[in-house]
Amino acid sequence: MTADVLMDLFFVDLPIERRIARIAETGWRQVETWKGGDDEELKTIGKACRDHGAELISIVMNFANEKDVAPVCAAHRAAFIERIDRYSDHALAAGCKAGIVTSGDRLTGVDYYLQKAALVEALAGAAAVAARKGFRLNIEPLNDKVDHPGYFLTSREESIDIARQVNAANVRVLYDLYHQQIMTGDHIAFLLANLPWIGHFHAAGVPGRHELFTGEMDYPSVIRRVRAAGYKECFGLEYMPQLPHEESLRKTWEYLQPALA
C-alpha cells in the first residue's frame, strides 16, 4: 500500500517543479493532481516527478460541476467519453495510468434510476476506450451535506453497484473517507466487505477537511485493517493544510507511516 499527496493544495506559490521537489523532500514520493485538461502542464508535472524521484498516480477527468460532460446525463454521454479519451492521453503522456470520474449533479425532473442507468452506460463506454490504453477510472461518491450540494452520487453502496454493473476490470470506486464519514461513517465493515472494488482512497480531517490528525477519524486504524485485508493501491491526502505546508506534510507522514510501513 502506498500513499500520495494532492499537489494542488501544497506549496501553491511555487512553480510546479519546485512544488513537487518540496513534497518529495518531506517524504512523500507519489502525487496526484486535479489538473487534466492541459497536456503540456501534465507533461511538466510528469517530468518534475521523474526528476525528483516521485510518481504521478492520478488526475481528475471531470469535475462535479461540469454539466456539459456529466455522465449522469444521457445527452452528454458522447462528450463525456470524448473527455475521457482525451484526458487519458494527457495523463499517459505524463506517466499517469489512472483518473478520477465524478457523476455530475442530480438532474431536476429526471427519474433517479434513469440517471443511474445513464451513468452506468457512459462509464461503460469510457471504460472500453480507457482499457485499450491500460488506463483505469475511479468513480467517486461525494457528500452533498457540506461540500457538494446537489451532487448525484453520494452513496458508497450505489457506487459499488455501479462498478459491478459496468463490470470492467479498469473501473473501481474512489472511497473518500472524508466524504463518507460525513455521509455514513462505519467504514471498516463496509470496506472489508467490498475491498476488491476499491481502487483508491482519499482522506482529510473531519470536520473541516484539514490535517488528518486533527479530526474525529482514526486513520491509522482504517489503514491497518484494509492493508491486512490485502489492499495494495494508493491512499491519497486531499486536505487543506492549516499548518505551514512542510510541517503539515511531515507531521502527517509521522502520523500515518507506522500504519503504512
Beta-carbon contacts of residue 248 (< 8 Å; ≥ 6 apart):
10, 211, 241, 242
Q: What 3-state DSSP class applies to 52? A: coil
Give residue 129's Cα distance to chain centre: 20
Give CA–CA dist 139/102, Å, rounded: 6
DSSP codes, 69-85: G-TTSGGGHHHHHHHHH
For residues 88-108, one letter each, b for 16 or more C-beta atoms within 10 angstroms of the residue's C-beta and e for the rest, the string is: bebbbebbbbbbbbbbbbbbe
Rama region for 230: left / alpha / beta (φ>0; ψ in -120 to 50; rest): left
Q: Exactly one of 238, 246, 247, 254 is catalytic; name it.
A: 238
Q: Exactly one of 32, 140, 211, 233 is catalytic; name it.
A: 140
Give CA–CA dist 249/237, Å, rounded: 9
Q: Which of 225, 234, 230, 223 is nearest to 200 (CA)?
A: 234
Is residue 254 part of the annotated active site? The answer reads no
Is residue 211 part of the annotated active site? The answer reads no
H or E segment and range at residue 166: helix 156-166
| Active site positions, annotated | 140, 238
